[in-house]
Structure 1
């Protein structure tokens, strides 16, 4: 009996250690635009607004995978605007909006890393999250993109054993209006892949449950 109890305690300790290594993502605040029709969007451009190419690739890959598993048509901005042409095209309003129109996207998802300690846009969970009322440029896609893109975090922002706050916006591509916004917190990701996988699974599942995204239409 003593050996059995010792073995049980050891197994529990191992399980605890394994669990403590896994990242934990929580959606801490959300906002829905009451002035935008809530039709599910099914042909989406995913844009990770981080300057680290590896992080951008990982975020867009995982978001695309989660969305495509739900029958949603997805294009990653890193394929539309590879790193080699990013400076010329991604900060050019006409080029970016033309690409959205030419590909018939009905939605755009933006993801940006925010910092609880240094960025006042992080909203603690006990406060009302209302990005459009607080920051007017959130209201349309180009306004947000143009204000945020020059501030993306440079290489080296990723580290182990810390908290990451990601801001996710869903825009209607035709009107450019903000449909939905969320802030999420991921604690202690062991790797960059852990961070992107856990975040993407939680955020896409939430959007699906709220009928913000849906299967792409099969009609031309």
Structure 2
């Protein structure tokens, strides 16, 4: 008699358990988002380098990095309209261009050890630069040397259809490639990055 009562009770319990909704799985907390990479403030970009920003005045540059390290050197044929120099506290190989008293270009030359915000510096290969920038890189022949010498230009707002940009708000980087296929100079800033002879 007891056995007869136990079996139906077990069956009822089993059926009741089958009808119960499954316990909801505990929610997995969302994966933490990877922190955004902070740009290197000591890397040269189309907007500037370190404490310098394209568009600064000579007075602002002097407050940030000191006066001209070599005031007796000729920076341009008409320094009032265009001048090039290295401030006293700027690293070796950093050359500034000011037009009408305003910073328009920062260049890395010869002994510069700084790199761009993409990690490229003097001596890096043109092939690596083209691979890194892809279709954003515009390649043009060098004015004075045969290939593999060339200019690799990257504008912040994308490739330009114009052979020469005059928009004062345009910002970009030019990698000048030497006869060995490697970077010999880098220019960053406004339209003056297109100059091939200092201030011209």
| TM-score, normalising length: structure 1 | 0.26
Higher relative contact order (CA 8 A, sep 6+): 1
- Greater Rg over alpha carbons, structure: 2
Normalised TM-score (structure 2): 0.28
Query: Quick check: which one's helix share is greater?
Result: 1
